[in-house]
A = this chain, B = another copy of it.
Amino acid sequence: MDSNDVIELAGGVDERLARQIEFLVEIDKLKNVERMSKISDGSRRENTAEHSWHLAMCALVLADRAGPEVDVGRAILMCLVHDIVEVDAGDTYIYAADRSHKHDAEVAAAERLFGLLPDELGARLRDLWDEYETHDTPTGAFAYAVDRLQPMLLNAVTGGVTWTENGIRQSQVREKNQPIEAASADLWMLASGIIDTAVDEGVLAPD
């Protein structure tokens, strides 16, 4: 038995289920997409599937740091789907010099992947992804901010290894993580403390 057999079996129940199962098998590939972040014991890099779980847990646990206009349940769904496009587009390091192809590749991936689903379900997941990408609503801004904070936490508990590996400067980290400030003063205070400490310890290059 392989993927095609399972999708065919689901089709024996109904064609809609076949499409749902095909999508669920396809996104399993996210478990093989490697990110820059290292997991908390520093033993290996994080993959996008486990990152998405950790991010959803961050949104759930840090819900009290979101403004009252944030729909935390919806932010959690955004965390779950925000990186599904990486099945096709791969992960792009936030401090990569060339991120120019990222957006087009991810939009094409969103078309294909969410297009595997029954139309209205695919549109619903695509809406979540779009709102995360533009992060111009309070809920999208909160999900986006948590997605900035989670890699900082992992970096901080592993001695800033991905910053030193890549020769990252303080100004880069401040700029890229600025969206945290708009979403939560508390989380920005924590993020600023992490940056200040990393500069003091010589882990982040001062500018």
Chain A residues engaging chain B, CB cutoff 8 angstroms: 1-3, 5-6, 9-10, 12-14, 16-17, 20-21, 23-25, 27-32, 39-41, 43, 46-47, 49-50, 52-54, 56-58, 60-62, 64-65, 73, 76-77, 80-81, 117, 121, 125, 153-154, 156-157, 159-160, 186, 189-190, 193-194, 197-198, 201, 203
Contact = CB atoms under 8 A, between A and B. Distances in A.
A27 B153 contact: no
Nearest to A77: B60
22 contacts: A1-B159, A2-B159, A5-B156, A5-B197, A13-B189, A20-B61, A24-B54, A24-B153, A25-B157, A30-B50, A30-B53, A31-B39, A32-B41, A49-B49, A49-B50, A49-B53, A52-B53, A53-B80, A56-B80, A57-B81, A60-B125, A61-B125
Chain A contact residues, majority secondary structure? helix
B21 A153 contact: yes
Give the number of times this chain occurs in the complex, counting copies: 2
A125 B25 CA distance: 28
A121 B61 contact: yes
Nearest to A19: B61
